[in-house]
Amino acid sequence: MTRDLKVPLQALRSEHRYRSRRILEGPQQPEQRIDGRSVLAFCSNDYLGLANHPQVIQALRRGADTYGVGAGAAHLVNGHTRAHHALEDELAAFTGRDRALLFSTGYMANLGVAQALLRRGDRLFEDRLNHASLIDAAMISGARLSRYRHADAGDLARRLGRTVRLDDDRDTLISTDAVFSMDGNLAPLETLASLADTHGCWLMADDAHGIGVLGQQGAGTLEYLGLTQAQVPILMGTLGKALGTSGAFVAGPDDLIETLIQSARTYIYTTAMPAAVAEATRASLHIVQQEPERRRHLRALVEHFRDGVGQLGLELMESTTPIQPIVVGASEKALQWSDALLQQGLLVPAIRPPTVPQGRARLRVTLSATHSRAQVDRLLQALAGLVGTA
């Protein structure tokens, strides 16, 4: 007998954990029309404002004129175009890696890496606050999963010391977000790289929220920290956030990429992204490298916002990235504050368990290079009003 699905759905509503979709009626930009009303949005991952950039749109159109709309087949059949190949070469050069390989989504990239590299009985160490895609990747890999305390390299070192021996034949992968999507902080990748070297492990960084944003050239967290391919051999980055398009890539040594081509099921058995999207991403990549002023403006907005929130006495996470979560505690309160902001025309989502721990519900503010200082001030004024009525 099948279970009644209405019961768990009602439980989600009563626990203030029910999720609802909103309908966007235009492009990604600060001023949007959502569900029929005009809002100022602080919730997009379009950190550099490239999703609606004229040059990116023009490149998409040119790509569609050349290659059509759909790829038509998997990369290993006849869906791999010159546009895809050029983008892979440019991503490899951008990130300082031997090669790069395109995937349709970051979720698929993370699943593909774990499935291709790990076997049953191998070992996988993950940060407790890793993205859901990395956790799911662990489950399908068949490896023994050990989750160390968040950003705690000491806890990881103890776990490695108890379980990893250099003379056995099991592979070991350490996998972490580079920038944590709900907290905005960075993983201690320098220490993790040292531990991986000591214990003979692979190290993988999911830099979905760092690519385009961090580093002098915008090449992400690894550039920002000065870490090389030898230190962090597996890099995953997404194209749908700071680069403003869609898809993902894995970059690293030649043998890694060739292994993924031969063995990653999420690469082999799916249709390639449209070549037009690859061409649009090439245009985005050019802008990222040629317009560092976008990152400078974004950093200035982050500093201004943090100063303003600090003066209000609200709890901010320790983040210098565009992800600026304000912790409010209970899910009900987070929803109330989010709704109150929406009534003032400000779209700031409430993030609740199970996405974040119990008692740590928050408003997840994300800033973009296309926000103005005046728009950030408008949000700060609205937050001040909420604090005054709390």
Residues marked as catalytic: 181, 209, 241
Q: Residues within the annotated binding site?
A: 19, 106-107, 131, 181, 209, 238, 355
Q: Report the DSSP pairing between strands 315-316 and 248-252.
A: unpaired
Q: Residues within the annotated binding site for pyridoxal 5'-phosphate?
A: 106-107, 181, 209, 238
| 169, 140 Cβ separation under 8 angstroms | no
Q: Residues within the annotated binding site for substrate?
A: 19, 131, 355
Measured CA to CA, the distance from residue 301 to residue 380 in angstroms comes to 12
Determine the longest span between alpha carbons in the chain, in angstroms.
Answer: 63
Which residue, among 370, 377, 244, has the nearest Cα to 297 in the 3D structure?
370
Measured CA to CA, the distance from residue 295 to residue 23 in angstroms comes to 29
